[in-house]
Chains A and B, each alone.
Chain A
Amino acid sequence: AQTVTQSQPEMSVQEAETVTLSCTYDTSESDYYLFWYKQPPSRQMILVIRQEAYKQQNATENRFSVNFQKAAKSFSLKISDSQLGDAAMYFCAYRTFTLDSNYQLIWGAGTKLIIKP
């Protein structure tokens, strides 16, 4: 079974600095997808970024980028120029590349990101 591990329960960063959130996963599959979701105090789950395992290029979305190391099964999220609005819980998630229309997201435990003004 696949598992997702976020080893940092909490991280803090100074505003405008860069922070990296860690995520590792375990799978025997070669094709899959990885996601980072953000959950601000409003509780809504917001997709931040996604990565297809078959793509070697790391995904980027504005100030958010990932460092995808397939061999090491690592999928870290880098937030550049941190802003107060980035303060949230960040969840790493894995899903299989299945031909079925049905699938589950496997979730990490989350990392609480604190932004210091």
Chain B
Amino acid sequence: DTAVSQTPKYLVTQMGNDKSIKCEQNLGHDTMYWYKQDSKKFLKIMFSYNNKELIINETVPNRFSPKSPDKAHLNLHINSLELGDSAVYFCASRRGGLGTDTQYFGPGTRLTVL
């Protein structure tokens, strides 16, 4: 069974369009994350959601908005796509609370903006 899934795996679109990436985890985890991995492979956290509450919102343009309909889902909506948005986007989840919690990552979504 897939622990963290993302759809689509590939997304090619034109500048100015609005697109969404879906993420689902079946691990019963409390916190979910979105990361952006640029062409240099550097991972940058964008958002995290804990019990449907936005916890972290790094310096991300407000064109990006996370939506969490329930604890198992954290979707990423991107409005007015720009060339610089081209990257691989990873969803991740982890169990809440203390301890050596580790993040479990989805397979990634490669977004290409033309």
Residues of A participating in the B interface, judged by any CB pair closer than 8 Å? 33, 35, 37, 39, 42-47, 50, 52, 89, 91, 99, 101-102, 104-105, 107, 109-110
Contact = CB atoms under 8 A, between A and B. Distances in A.
B57 to A, nearest CB: 12
Contact of B92 (A33, A39, A45, A99): A45
Interface residues of B, number: 26
Contacts, number: 50
B113 to A, nearest CB: 18
Given A43-B88, A44-B107, A45-B90, A101 B100 contact: no
Q: Describe A's contact surface by its main secondary structure.
A: strand
B38 to A, nearest CB: 11
B96 A101 contact: yes
A102 B48 contact: yes
A43 B108 contact: yes
A99 B105 CA distance: 23
27 contacts: A33-B100, A37-B105, A39-B41, A43-B88, A43-B107, A43-B110, A44-B106, A44-B107, A45-B90, A45-B105, A45-B108, A47-B103, A50-B102, A91-B43, A99-B98, A101-B30, A101-B96, A101-B97, A102-B48, A102-B50, A102-B56, A104-B45, A104-B48, A105-B103, A107-B42, A109-B40, A109-B41
Contacts of A105: 45, 103
Nearest to B97: A101
Given A91-B43, A107-B42, A52 B107 contact: no
Contacts of A91: 43
A50 B100 contact: yes
